[in-house]
Amino acid sequence: MASLQDSMNSFKKQQEKCQSSPKSKSIAEGISVADLKDAYPTIVEDLQALKAATEIWLLSNPDLKEDIAYPNDPQVPFKVDDELKILFRAIELPHDMLEIELDLQKNGMKPATNAAMRRVMAQNGNICNKPKEKKKKKAKISKCTKPTNAHLRELFRNLNG
């Protein structure tokens, strides 16, 4: 447990160090895992151990395409507005994927899946998860390549005449 505490202390020191960098302004209170990887070789394993011990949160940031480590500090209180909770719980999604796809199409968006086609294929038993075989292209003779054996002219002179 001492190594976890040392890791947490190292994490906090690295976080304080990176707070002054311009990149960390977009990270808010968390610290980029890419910045932490320079600390010592086993930092990733220690971060996973800290995550398992609920000492930190590792969240992915799609803008920066990397994970961000946030300290899980119970002394820092935060409160979510009751209005936000009510709004979040009031959203009802359709249970059928077809309805979701139709709503997306009505709003001018293209759905990533086609549930109707999948259902038809499943009923017919045509679901094929095997990758298609790629055909090999035949090698073509390029314009730079001469089809004659110019380097063997001496051998062919005696045959022709």
- Condensed to tens digits (0 to 9), the pLDDT of residues 100-144 reads 888 888 999 888 888 888 888 888 876 555 667 778 877 776 666
66 and 114 fall within a common domain: no
Q: Distance between CA 49 and CA 53 in Å, rounded?
A: 6
67 and 119 fall within a common domain: no
**Looking at residue 87, what is its pLDDT?**
92
65 and 86 fall within a common domain: no
- Residues forming beta bridges with residue 13, ordered by sequence position: none
pLDDT tens for residues 128-137?
556 677 788 7
Length of the chain counted residue by residue:
161
Q: Report yes or no on 29 lying in a domain.
A: yes
Q: How many CB atoms lie within 10 A of CB 64?
A: 13
pTM: 0.36
28 and 62 fall within a common domain: yes
Per the structure, the count of domains in the chain is 2
Domain that holds residue 105: 82-124
Q: Distance between CA 24 and CA 138 in Å, rounded?
A: 52
Q: Report yes or no on 37 lying in a domain.
A: yes
Tokens of 31: 């610290």
Name the residue among 15, 16, 5, 3 with its Cα closest to residue 55.
5
Q: Distance between CA 47 and CA 10 in Å, rounded?
A: 11
Q: Report yes or no on 38 lying in a domain.
A: yes
Tokens of 86: 């009510």
Question: Which of 48, 71, 94 is a domain's end point?
Answer: 71
What b/e string do you get for 110-128 counting C-beta neighbours within 10 Å, with b at 16 or more? Answer: eeeeeeeeeeeeeeeeeee
Going by C-beta distance under 8 Å and a sequence separation of 6 or more, which residues neighbour residue 100? 93, 94, 111
